[in-house]
Amino acid sequence: MTSSVRSGEQGIASGADNALREVGGALGVAVPASVFAARGGYESPQAFSEGTVPALRIGAGAVALAALVALMIPVRRAAEAPAPGPEAAGDRTPVAV
């Protein structure tokens, strides 16, 4: 994701990527777990199935929706590096190390 933005915006893109990944991970666990708890439980195999099936359907629906949204994102080429200016060509002062 960060390769598709300008170099000056890569920090913002990286932060947004990390934040959205954290939110997605939290919701990806919380929503199916809540559905399972509301619909089923661990009391019997029947109760477990009654909670697991709708939770898995919710998860599959979320994945399908995310795939559709991802397919609608326009394709962009990686940001091109700027042409080297005079400061990059030969204005460097040698330094003894």
Q: Specify whether the CB–CB gap between 2 and 13 falls below 8 A.
A: yes
Prediction pTM value? 0.62
- Give dist(CA 65, CA 56) in Å, integer: 14
Residue 18: the pLDDT is 94
**Predicted pLDDT at 87:** 56
Q: What pLDDT does residue 1 have?
A: 64
Query: What's the pLDDT score for residue 72?
Result: 94
Residue 74, pLDDT score: 85
Question: Tens-of-pLDDT digits for all 97 residues of the chain?
Answer: 677 788 888 889 899 999 999 999 999 999 999 999 999 999 999 999 999 999 999 999 999 999 999 999 888 665 555 555 555 555 667 777 7
With CA atoms as reference, report the closest residue to 16 among 27, 31, 5.
5
* Domain ranges within the chain, ordered by starting residue: 2-82
